[in-house]
Chain A
Amino acid sequence: MKVSQAGKMALSAILSNKLRSFLTMLGIIIGVMAVTLLISIVQGASNTVTGQLDDLGGDQLIVQIINPTKRLTLSEVEALAEEEGVAYVSPTLGGNGTARAFGNSMDVSVSGITGSYKDVQGLDLESGRVITQTDNDYRLSVCVIGRKVATELFGTTACIGKNLRLNGKDYRIAGVLTEQVQTAVEDPNATVYIPLTNAQRLLSEVNVSLFYVAVEEEADMDAVKALLDRKLLAKYDDEDDYLIVNMADVIDIIDTIMGTLELLLAAIAGISLVVGGIGIMNIMLVSVTERTREIGIRKAIGAQRGDIIVQFMIESVILSLFGGIIGMAVSQAVLTTVNILHPGYNFAISFNTGAVALGFSILVGLVFGIYPAAKAAGLKPINALRYE
């Protein structure tokens, strides 16, 4: 007998009891959904985080001064820009503040930056201009605000030239950022950027505790890091007083963590697939008992062991495969909905995830179909025909 004929028989058996077939598939549907959803979400989140870090500057070093008693002055930091292999140095001075305008108020992050910040961090402006070197030179009270700050205080992003009051001091708004991705570390949407020299006064803090160093060539990263290390060690004598972080290393670490998490979640979700498989086996066994007479008739008119095995195996594989396809479709629908609701993310089932999930459902169908199929094929036609 041809497999296509066995497929037809299996399909008609599945369609003849749609509710039961669906309930049987449900285990696989949920299993595949769990696997594909979890993996896709972890992958999506991982890509988003590493993408953000990459945007922050995969080609930059972050230097943090830990010892509060011995901080670097602005000129010391800016002098580092002259070193070999260094493209930009962007010192920042961070703090918190309250912004007010039109009777509205909002807690914001305050970030004192220099003209090179945009080159290093790459912020996108919706309108206006960025903080420049000139702003810093004259300690101008101007600011660039995040989108959320603009909408909360002014109800619109068209607020260039208006003033906001930050910790009791007036700042003229020079630029508004586009919607930025919020990261675990910072939310640019709720940040007010002001010239660093101005921030020194506002936050009563002269020294720079954190600065970013962009390298000219990514290949120079390690050399620049070693250079900074030498310079800072010479100044501090203690390597615990400062910390140099290579963003690319951070991205690698996150990738590794996410990869492990992905595997772990896939394994947990995989258990539900196995449970779904047991559900298929259970129903197939019931079905074999119910169809004892049918099997007897088929054998009496000439079906061979192999014919019956193939028929039942195909039935179980179709159940699990359809379950897998439906599960993936539902997953994709869920992910698409999430993507629409949260424009910052882009979740999708990768080809590999899809292939593994479908492959695994077929495997589940095969493995859990063998026993019922063998049981059906092993029925003796005389006994099976007598079965009521």
Chain B
Amino acid sequence: MIELRDIKKIYQLGGEEVHALDGVSLVIEDREFVAVVGASGSGKSTLMNIIGCLDTPDEGAYFIDGQDVSDLSEHDQSIMRNRKIGFIFQQFNLLPKLTAYENVELPLIYQGVSSAERKERVTEALKRVGLENRMWHRPNQLSGGQQQRVAVARALVTRPALILADEPTGNLDSHSTGEIMELLKELHRAGNTLVLITHDDEIASEAPRRVRLFDGKVVADMRSDARKADGSSGTDFDGNAVADRNMKAAPAPVMRSGPGGGSPGGGSAGTVSGPGEESFIPEEDPEEVTDGR
């Protein structure tokens, strides 16, 4: 289980304070599959960095499995990343000179796992993503979808508390996107905790729970019925509560007028920058709310 309590992160940009995260609180239970959705500048990258122990919050507390990690040293952060978190990146981020097998093996090497156990676990992880025949291929000998599957294997080989996927399908064609999403859902069904960060609502809709970020704040937290179909252990009460909060917290016109009308020329990192990105919020929100019910 991971828990964020009133997390704040403030950047100084040209003498101006940008509240990348402005009091985010979030609880993600074990075995949950949560999509964090938001436009660029909504703070989702900052949130991912903090959830992934790549960065520390300025304020607030962050617990992984009950352990406060919001104030860790760089050294302890890296241990946390290694033991508790499996990363899946948009750019795959495989080491180009290593084979698929070696890429998956790497986090275990840093953990100091014995070579016999490494062999077993790496093979198992690659089998799980269906790449047992591509173990000795280098990334440039694999398709984008296959590379991302290697990255998924690398993320799950350490048996992390949380798999953190940052726009995992952002660089993939629609076919591979479908493959990776299937794989992620399968991992979820198999009992992994997944946090998927995306700007794409279609991708996000695959997740039973969706958290929407806007201007560094959680503006919606929605659970769909699909969750029950998955056999997860949610209750109606939770779902309703979330939906209620969602309705209160997401008055679409306010969100729209804030960044869009406020500063036309000042498009700093903390504000939504394109009209296309703004527009999807009011369009999609009502659907989601009904979904939530």
Contact = CB atoms under 8 A, between A and B. Distances in A.
A314 B63 CA distance: 37
Contacts of A307: 110
Contacts of B82: 301-303
B78 A302 contact: yes
Given A16-B97, A385-B89, A385-B93, A303 B49 contact: no
B81 A300 contact: yes
11 contacts: A296-B93, A300-B52, A300-B54, A300-B87, A300-B93, A302-B83, A304-B75, A305-B78, A381-B54, A382-B49, A385-B54
A294 B93 CA distance: 8
Closest 8 CB pairs of A and B: A302-B82, A302-B110, A301-B107, A304-B78, A382-B54, A297-B93, A303-B110, A381-B54
B79 interface: yes
A317 B78 CA distance: 26
Interface in A1-55: 1-2, 5, 12-13, 16
A299 B97 contact: no
B71 interface: no
Contacts of B158: 302
Interface in A117-135: none
Interface in B123-148: none
Contacts of A299: 78, 81
Task: Tell me which of B75, B81, B158 has the highest count of chain A C-beta atoms within 10 A of its own C-beta.
Answer: B81
Nearest to B107: A301
Given A12-B97, A382-B49, A302 B55 contact: no
A12 B98 CA distance: 9
B249 interface: no
Interface of B: 49, 52, 54-55, 74-75, 78-79, 81-83, 87, 89, 93-95, 97-98, 106-107, 109-112, 154, 158
B74 A305 contact: yes
A71 interface: no
Given A12-B97, A385-B89, A304 B79 contact: yes
A335 B68 CA distance: 66
Nearest to A5: B109
A165 interface: no
A303 B93 contact: no
A185 to B, nearest CB: 63
A172 interface: no
Given A13-B97, A299-B78, A385-B89, 9 more contacts: A294-B95, A299-B81, A300-B54, A301-B87, A301-B106, A302-B81, A302-B83, A303-B110, A381-B54
A305 B73 CA distance: 11
Nearest to B166: A385
Contacts of A301: 81-82, 87, 106-107, 110, 154
Contacts of B94: 297
- Name which of B52, B78, B106, B111 has the most chain A CB atoms within 10 A of its CB: B78
A139 interface: no
Nearest to A307: B110
Nearest to B112: A1
A2 B139 CA distance: 25
A293 B78 CA distance: 16
A36 B81 CA distance: 49
Contact of A2 (B75, B87, B93, B112): B112
B51 to A, nearest CB: 12
Contacts of B95: 294, 297-298
Contacts of A304: 75, 78-79, 110
Contact of A305 (B55, B75, B89): B75
A294 B139 CA distance: 14
A368 B44 CA distance: 41
Of A301, A305, A385, which is in contact with the most chain B CB atoms at under 10 Å from its CB?
Answer: A301
A16 B78 CA distance: 27
A90 B173 CA distance: 101
Given A294-B95, A382-B55, A302 B89 contact: no
Nearest to B48: A382
Contacts of B79: 302, 304
